[in-house]
């Protein structure tokens, strides 16, 4: 009797990825500027710009079997989210967002009907597209937190931008295990600094926002750090941007707590 032993695909080396960090820093800056402006149109623009970047690179990043069609679905979902926010200028800011999400889900399900190759790998297609929609919705949640707390979006944006720079130093075979605690410390310290700089005092809430935002963003970057598409510019930048957008629900939850 003969037996065959499956060999694992060699892991991608752990190394700094400047384009991923660049995407995270730029997305953090966009979120920060939207938060500082306090303008409704700035929120819409932030969702539109970051969402289209994700739509460009995310399907290849998750190895979608039909990356072009999946990218179109995500781009149209981004436009729908922008329109939903544009139509709802006052509270509740996210009132129309479920309609945009529903439209994205419908498009995601209709996509396999026009592509035979997509139907052959249906589970992979739907999983990748649904995760992309989740990232886009999280971004919409993130940029709409400032009506709840005027500084929380700014604190989160600056914290994730600065903490992402730690990737350039510690994302190596011998030090990668220290990335999470170090970035959490950096995010918390930056969150407090931003809060004090804005003249809001020195409460514990901004520290928690910065710490949590940095941690969640890093976890997403590490979760997709082995994807082959990270070697491409669209995939790497989309990964960095997505890591920032993904912190939205956590930041909104903290913004609604009395500690902030």
Alpha carbons within 13 angstroms on the beta-carbon side of residue 28 total: 29
Predicted pLDDT of residue 140: 92
CA angle 77, 161, 38 (to 5 degrees): 65
Q: What is the pTM of this model?
A: 0.89
Burial state string for 138-157 with b = 16 or more CB within 10 A and e = fewer than 16: bbbbbbbbbebbebbbbbbb
Q: How far is 75 from 79, CA to CA, in rounded Å? A: 6
Predicted pLDDT of residue 5: 37
Predicted pLDDT of residue 39: 84
Q: What does the pLDDT profile of the chain (260 residues) look like in tens digits?
A: 343 334 444 555 678 899 999 999 999 999 999 888 878 898 899 999 999 999 999 999 998 888 898 999 999 999 999 999 998 877 767 888 999 999 999 999 888 887 776 667 788 888 899 999 999 999 999 988 866 566 888 899 999 999 999 999 998 888 888 999 999 999 999 999 988 888 665 466 888 999 999 999 999 999 998 888 888 999 999 999 999 999 999 998 888 876 54
Per-residue DSSP letter, 63:
T
DSSP readout, 20-31?
HHHHHHHHHHHH
From 149, 197, 128, 150, select the one nearest 36 (Cα to Cα): 150
With contact defined as beta carbons under 8 Å apart, do 51 and 246 qualify?
no
């Amino acid at each position: 009797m003969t037996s065959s032993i499956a060999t694992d695909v060699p892991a991608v080396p752990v190394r700094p990825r400047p384009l991923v960090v660049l995407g995270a820093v730029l997305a953090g800056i966009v979120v920060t500027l939207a938060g500082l402006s306090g303008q409704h149109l700035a929120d819409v623009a932030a969702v539109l710009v970051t969402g289209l970047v994700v739509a460009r690179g995310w399907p290849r990043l998750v190895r979608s079997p039909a990356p072009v069609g999946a990218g179109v679905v995500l781009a149209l979902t981004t436009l729908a989210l922008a329109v939903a926010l544009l139509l709802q200028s006052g509270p509740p800011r996210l009132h129309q967002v479920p309609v945009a999400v529903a439209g994205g889900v419908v498009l995601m399900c209709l996509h396999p009907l026009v592509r035979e190759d997509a139907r052959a790998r249906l589970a992979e297609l739907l999983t990748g597209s649904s995760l992309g929609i989740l990232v886009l919705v999280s971004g919409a949640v993130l940029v709409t937190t400032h009506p709840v707390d005027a500084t929380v979006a700014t604190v989160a944006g600056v914290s994730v931008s600065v903490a992402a720079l730690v990737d350039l130093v510690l994302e190596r075979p011998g030090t990668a295990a220290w990335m999470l605690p170090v970035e959490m410390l950096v995010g918390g310290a930056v969150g407090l600094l931003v809060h004090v700089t804005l003249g809001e005092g020195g409460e514990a809430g901004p520290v928690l926002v910065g710490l949590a935002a940095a941690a969640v963003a890093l976890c997403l970057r590490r979760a997709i750090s082995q994807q082959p598409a990270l070697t491409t510019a669209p995939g790497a930048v989309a990964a960095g941007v997505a890591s920032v957008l993904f912190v939205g629900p956590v930041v909104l939850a903290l913004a609604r707590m009395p500690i902030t």
